[in-house]
Structures are given as C-alpha cells and as structure tokens.
Amino acid sequence: MVAFDSAAMLGTCLAALRRNGVAALVVDNASRDGSAAFAEREGARVVRSAANEGYGRGNNAGARASAAEWLLLVNPDIVLEEGAVAELLAAAGRYPDVGLLAPRILEGDGRLFFQPRSLVPAFLPNPKGRFLPPSGDCCAPFLSGACLLVRRELFLRLGGFDERIFLFYEDDDLCRRVADAGYGLVHVHGAVARHGRGRSSAPAPGRIFTARWHLAWSRAYLSDKYGRPNDVRRTLLLNGAKALGALLTGRRALIERYGGSAAGALAYLLGRTALARQGLAPATPPRPSKAAPIPRQTE
C-alpha cells in the first residue's frame, strides 16, 4: 500500500487486511499527517520515502522490499470484505494462466466499478456502447490498480509499474504489458472490496490542479508509448478555453480542474516530464519508444 497523507483511511484498510490474514507493508510517500507512525502502530511494516514518489514508484519500492510470493496492491481507501483475499487466491488456482486478478469493487453508494475498456487495450477495444456488468468471473482488458493481486516474480519480471508515470494510467500500462506477455486479467466476482473513491489522500490546496496535470500528461504519454491516437492538443485547447471561462466565475475548483488539464497537456507538448514536475528527474529525458512485448516464461 502506498500512503500519502492517508492517516484518516489507513485504520479501516489495515483492519480489513488483518481480518483477511494479510501482512501489510506500507510505503509512505513523505506524508505530513503522521501516516507512517500510524501504520506502524497498527502493526504494518513501513518503508519511508524521502519524497512523494508517486503511486507506481511507491508500489515498486514495496514490491522490492517484500519477500512474499503474492503481492496484493491496495489503495488506502479500499476496504476488503472478509474472505476476499481467499477468493482471489482460489481464483488464481482455478485459472493457471492468470497474471492479474482484481476483486469486485463497490463504490460508496453500492454501485459496481467495472471498466470494460482501457486506453491501451491488448484486446477487446470495446467502443462505447451498452454496458453489461459481469455477474461472475470474467476476463477483461483492464483491472483497476485500486486493488490487484499479482505474483511478485511476474510483477518484478515485467518491471513493475512504469516509473516515468507519477500518477494515473499506471494500471492501464501494467494490464497491457501483462496481456502482451501472454497472461490473463481476471475479475473475481466473489471477492468484494469497498472503495472510498478519492479519499486515499487528505484534501489540500492545489491537489486538484496537480491531479488533473498528471491525468493529462499520463494520458498523452501512454498514447505515444503504444502508438495510439493522441488527443493532447485537443486537451490543451478545450481545457484552456474552459479554464479562461472558469477564471471569470472565480470558482477555484473549476480553475484548478481545467487549468491543471491544460497545463499538463502543454507540458507534454513542450517535452516536460511528470517526474521533473515533482522534482524527481531531469526535465527532458527521451520520449518513450513504442513498447515491445515481453516474452512469457515457463513457470
């Protein structure tokens, strides 16, 4: 679990992991609200980062620090129902070619979160149409990074999450690489997780702007990585116009939302990187080349 100012959510999440018999390893991304100390008091092993490394880099650090056969990647705002992990492991036994497994994720109002498409699908591009939610286990082109089960060996062999991404679309990228390597992505309907969407980190001024910046940048980056149509210029023009309109209203949330999206798109077009924005890397490393498939190994 990667935590960044997540103390308000950690207690419930960690308690659910204990009920499922899961040992918790929390990577704390330089939280300012005592998340690391709280996690330690709750019995979790804590890896402290000197800076906010982002979601993917944080999970990779946790995977390297772990010695477990299986990794359960969990957001702090996820609460697993009792028996959920046993259901995921049982499904892994039923489907020997599986690479990633995810539980049935229910939002706070009880609605099912299931995304039947990906930005960079390896199969089933699923153009927009009627949505039929699953009623049992099924393969899918995308599984949410909010909660994933994966063998540690496979995760590390594939390079973990793409560390050039600070936030957003890391799960699309991982799902694509797992599928390209010849493994399945399975939604496990009998494993249930409750999701308090957007509550992994406490609110703070500028956080909406930062989130939208990374959403726009990561979408453009991943589109180029896999040779998909890149709408980054449209994102810049549309959100730039909306940001100007929001300035006239004085509504801060809208200014941050549209301004952040426009700024992220512009930064990508100018060759800036997500990591440079966060002070984690030089400003202009090479753009990504098209991703090559990773061959499957016999296990």
Q: Please give the C-alpha separations between residue 182 and each of 88, 96, 156, 294, in angstroms, as whole numbers.
A: 20, 12, 16, 9
pLDDT tens sequence across 249-298: 989 999 999 999 999 999 999 999 999 999 997 544 444 445 544 445 44
Provide the phi-psi class of 201: left if phi over 0, else alpha when psi is between -120 and 50, else beta: beta
Please write the tens of the pLDDT for every residue from 289-298: 455 444 454 4
* pLDDT, greater one: 93 or 199: 93
At residue 264's C-alpha, the angle toward residues 263 and 267, to 5°, is 85
Q: How many CB atoms lie within 10 A of CB 183?
A: 21
- For 172-194, what is each residue's pLDDT tens digit? 999 999 999 999 999 999 999 99
Query: What pLDDT does 203 receive?
Result: 57
Model confidence band, residue 198 (pLDDT cutoffs 50, 70, 90):
low
110-148: pLDDT as tens digits: 899 998 889 999 888 777 767 788 999 999 999 999 999
What is the predicted pLDDT for the residue at 299?
40
pTM comes to 0.90
Instruction: Report the chain's mean pLDDT, rounded to a whole number.
Output: 91
CA distance 99 to 82: 23
Confidence of residue 201 (pLDDT cuts 50, 70, 90): low
Query: How many residues belong to the chain?
Result: 299
CA distance linking residue 272 with residue 251, whole number of Å: 28
32-45 average pLDDT score: 96
d(CA 170, CA 162): 7
Is the separation of the CB atoms in 58 and 150 below 8 Å? no
